[in-house]
């Protein structure tokens, strides 16, 4: 496992993003394009936080930037199902316990906004395939499903079907933040796994599995093989170890990855922002795209 711990920012803010983890990741458009995409996401969230905005706005801004970038597996450029279409999942949770999530979205341009609408405009937590009328009522931009489909993902689907694909077949984007008032938030968005069955849902939109936030402990967003994160309730397990065992953020992450991923054969990673403003990034896969603030500046890794 690789693990990085970042000290709290002098301004009291914290921000980290991820753009997918896997056994092998090759930047098909060259690493510079991925660095630029991750940097844009970090900067989008940072602008919110530096202006005194809430953590929830920061993570939504960061994830939106990644959803709109076709290099990442969320929004445009997401992975394709067995029938060649795109189904999108997303979740948003704030440290005060509120959460919203969507699964199987086919027309909403930015699924993280749909998750936020569930959080703010309904009494529910998770909605599957919200209909177009409801999305219109929520004021969300809708696009044809073909908008999400890119030539790169079509070729990837063909490789997966012919059993010649590598670890680029899955991925997720996400962000975690602590604002200057000490509030935490986490958001995660994904197109799932290339060649997945229609209707498959991974960990990203499941509160506690791929996304979790609690102001007294931590905000977490996960990426990797979703079924393992679902079975291990990975995001919540980190918070529970901090709350019930008094573990530090770093130790909680180490122990959770060891028990819930290493021990079960699962692969992936996570980003976590602690209640004290510290950040931990960890993954047991060969690589994870990620970005964060370091000494007040965006740093990205591909």
Q: How far apart are CA 268 and CA 91, in angstroms?
A: 18
Q: Which of 170, 272, 182, 181 is nearest to 226 (CA)?
A: 170
The residue from 81, 172, 217, 223 that is catalytic is 172
Nearest CA among 141, 142, 98, 143 for reference residue 118: 98
User: How many other C-beta atoms can be found within 10 angstroms of the C-beta atom of residue 221?
Assistant: 32
What is the dihedral sign for C-alpha 58, 60, 61, 65? positive
Q: What are the structure tokens assigned to 260, written together? A: 């819930």
172 is catalytic: yes
Which residue from 101, 96, 74 is spatially nearest to 86, judged by alpha carbons? 74
For the stretch 267-299, what's the b/e string if a residue is b when 16 or more beta carbons lie within 10 angstroms of its beta carbon?
bbbbbbbbbebbbbbbbbbebbbbbbbeeeebb
Q: Give backbone dihedrals phi and psi of 240, rounded to 5 degrees, phi first.
A: -65, -40
Catalytic residue numbers? 172
């Amino acid at each position: 496992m690789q693990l990085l711990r970042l000290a709290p920012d002098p301004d009291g803010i914290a921000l980290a993003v991820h753009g997918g983890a896997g056994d092998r990741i090759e930047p098909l458009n060259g690493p510079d394009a991925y660095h630029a995409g991750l940097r844009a996401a970090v900067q989008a969230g940072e602008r919110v936080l530096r202006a005194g905005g809430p953590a929830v706005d920061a993570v939504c801004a960061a994830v939106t930037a990644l959803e709109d970038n076709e290099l990442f597996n969320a929004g445009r450029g997401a992975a394709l199902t067995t029938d060649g279409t795109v189904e999108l999942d997303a979740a948003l949770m704030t440290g005060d316990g509120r959460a919203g999530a969507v699964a199987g979205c086919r027309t909403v341009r930015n699924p993280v906004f749909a998750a936020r609408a569930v959080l703010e405009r309904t009494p529910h937590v998770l909605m599957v395939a919200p209909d177009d009328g409801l999305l219109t009522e929520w004021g969300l931009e809708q696009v044809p499903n073909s908008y999400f489909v890119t030539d790169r993902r079509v070729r990837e689907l063909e490789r997966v079907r012919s059993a010649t694909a590598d670890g680029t077949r899955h991925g997720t984007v996400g962000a975690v933040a602590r604002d200057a008032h000490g509030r935490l938030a986490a958001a995660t968005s994904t197109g799932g796994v290339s060649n997945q069955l229609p209707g498959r849902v991974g960990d990203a939109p499941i509160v506690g599995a791929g996304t979790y936030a609690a102001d007294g402990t931590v905000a977490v967003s996960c990426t990797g093989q979703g079924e393992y994160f679902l079975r291990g309730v990975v995001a919540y397990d980190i918070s529970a170890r901090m709350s019930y065992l008094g573990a530090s953020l770093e130790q909680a992450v180490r122990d959770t990855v060891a028990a819930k991923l290493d021990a079960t054969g699962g692969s992936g990673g996570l980003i976590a922002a602690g209640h004290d403003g510290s950040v931990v990034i960890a993954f047991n896969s060969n690589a994870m795209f990620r970005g964060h603030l370091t000494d007040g500046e965006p740093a990205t890794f591909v």
